[in-house]
Amino acid sequence: MTISPLAGHRPPHTMLASIPGLVSAYYTEQPDPDNPLQLVSFGTSGHRGSSLKGSFNEAHILAVSQAIAEYRAGKGITGPLFVGKDTHALSEPAFRTAVEVFAANGVETVVQEGGGYTPTPVISHAILEWNRGRTSGLGDGVVITPSHNPPEDGGFKYNPPSGGPADPEITDAVQARANEILKSGGKGIRRLSFSSALKSDSVRTMDFVAPYVNDLGSILDLQAIARSGVSIGADPMGGSGVAYWDVIASRYGLKLEVVNPAVDPTFSFMSVDWDGKIRMDCSSPYAMAGLVQLKDRYDIAFGNDTDFDRHGIVVPDRGLLAPNGYLAVAVEYLFTHRPGWKQDAAVGKTLVSSSLIDRVARSVGRKCVEVPVGFKWFVEGLLDGSMGFGGEESAGASFLRKDGTAWSTDKDGIILTLLAAEILAVMGEHPGIRYDRITARLGVPCYARIDAAAGPERKKLLRKLTPDAVEGDILAGEPILAKLTAAPGNGAPIGGLKVTAENGWFAARPSGTEDVYKIYAESFIDEDHLRRIQEEAREMVDGVFARAGV
C-alpha cells in the first residue's frame, strides 16, 4: 500500500471538487444503459456513483425512486417514508428528484423541517419508533448519502420497515425495476415539480432532531457523563449530524465542544486520506489527522463520517483508536453494564472483524455470531433482542437500549461515540486503557487489510468459491481449522473465502468497485506471523485462480 505524500495534510485547492460541475453533470449527463458501470447497482450500502462518471445522475434517481414507490405499493407499505440526506454536493439534487417522484406516486414523504440534514441512524430510529406496536401502516425510509466516499460521489439507500439496510431480495427487485426504467428511457416515471411536491398532501416536514436526542437517555448513561465532567471534542466532519451535537450537549448538560461546525461540499477542511483522496473516513488516522492533533485538549474526542453511521474515537495518550480494538472494548463494557438485556443476547460481528471480539464474547459468557460483511445481517437479531450488539470492522455498530429493545437497526455513529464517553465516566479509564487491559488477558492482535489485483473473471470466481477449491492444510505454520465460504453464524454465503488457524486467519473478498480483491488477516503471535499469513493467503487464492485458468 503506497501512502500519498498528501496523506494527513489539508488538500491543495487544485484537488477540490467543482461543485457547479458536479451538479450540472447530475442534470445534463445521461447514463448509457448498455454500459454496466452506468446502471443502477445496489451494493452493501445502496447505489453509489458520480455524476461525472454517468453513474449517479438524475436518470438514476428518477428510476430508483419510482422503483421504490412501486415496491412499497406491491408490498402494502402504506405508512410514512422518512427521507434523509447528507451534506455531499449530489445529495441535495438527488433529494429533490426523489421527493418529486415520491409525491407524484402519493407516497407519504416525511423530511426534515427547514431543509436540514439527517443522519442514517436517525432515519432508522424514526422508522422503528413509528412502527413500534403497529401491524399495519408501517413506515420505511430512504437516506441519500454515499457515506464516507469522496466529495464527487452520491449515494441512495433504502431501509424497509425493519429499519435497517434492505436485504438482497429487496435490493435485487428495486435494482432490476430501476434498470428496466432506465433502459426504457424513463417510461413509467411519475413526477411533480419540486415546488408542487412540497405543496402536495403527500409531503410533510418534521423535526427529526428532538425525538432522537430526547430518546438518547434510553440507551446511554448520559447522567454519568454529565456528572463526571468529562471534556469532549466532537468533530462532525462536515456531515449530516452537524446540528445534533449542540442540542445533545444542552439537553444533557455535557461538557462538549463542537470542534468544526463548517459544512462545505468540497470538504476542504478535511485531511487527505492515505491514497491521496478526500474521504470522510473517521476510522482513518490520515483523514482524522486534524482531530488527532487536538487530542490533548479533551479527555476524549470523536468524529463521524458524513451520514454519521460510523465512528472514530481519539484519546489523549495514543490518538485514534483502531476500529476493531474499540469494538472489543464496547462489547466487554456493554455486556457487563446492561443488566436489562437478555441473558442469552449474543455478540454480532462480521467475519472480517477481529477475533479479539470472539475472545471478549467468550470471556463475558456470550455467544459470538459471525456473519457476512453488511449490516443487514444484524437487523433481525437487533430487532428481537437476541443480539445485544452488532459491529463491523469498518467502524460501524449499533446496540440495544438499556431495556433490551431495539434502538436502531442501522449503524449509529452517535451512540458509539457517546458510549466512549460513558466508558470513561463510569470506569475512570478511556477506551484505549480498557483495550490494554483486555489484550493483557486475551492476547494482542496484529490486524491488516491489503489489496491484490483481480479482474472481473477472478472476482466472479472468488464470489462463488467452495471450500474444496482451496488447497493446503497449513497456514503460517499452524494446522488449518476451517475453510469457510459461508458464515458460521447464519450460513449465508460470504462472497469469498475465510481460512482459520488457532492463532491467525485470513479472509479474501472481491471489491465491489475496483479490480482488486481484499485480503483481511490477523495474527495473535506477531507482525512477522501476520506477514506470513498475508503471503500464504495470496498464494492460496492465486492457486485457485491458476487451477481455474483465470
Identify the burial level of 247 via C-beta atoms within 10 angstroms of its C-beta, where 0-12 means exposed, 13-18 middle and 19 or more buried.
Answer: middle
Torsion angles phi and psi, residue 464, rounded to 5:
-110, 25
DSSP result, 22-57: HHHHHHH----TT-GGGS--EETTEEEEEGGGTSSS
Identify the burial level of 550 via C-beta atoms within 10 angstroms of its C-beta, where 0-12 means exposed, 13-18 middle and 19 or more buried. middle
Q: Among all chains, which residue has been given the C-alpha cell 449527463?
A: 29
Beta carbons of 466 and 483 less than 8 angstroms apart: no
User: How far apart are the C-alpha atoms of 196 and 495, rounded to whole Å?
Assistant: 45
Query: Closest Cα partner for 140 from 155, 119, 124, 156?
Result: 124
Quick check: helix, strand or coil at residue 455?
Answer: coil
CA–CA dist 358, 348 (Å, integer) = 9
Within a 10 A sphere around the Cβ of 20, how many other Cβ atoms? 9
Question: Where are any strands of DSSP class E within 335-404?
Answer: 346-350, 368-371, 387-392, 396-399
Strand partners, 431: none
Quick one: CA torsion of 381, 383, 385, 391, rounded to 10 degrees?
A: 50
Exposure of 114 in the CB half-sphere (CA atoms within 13 A): 7
- Among the options 147, 162, 283, 353, which is catalytic? 147
To the query of whether residue 147 is one of the catalytic residues in this protein, the response is yes
Q: Which residues are catalytic?
A: 147
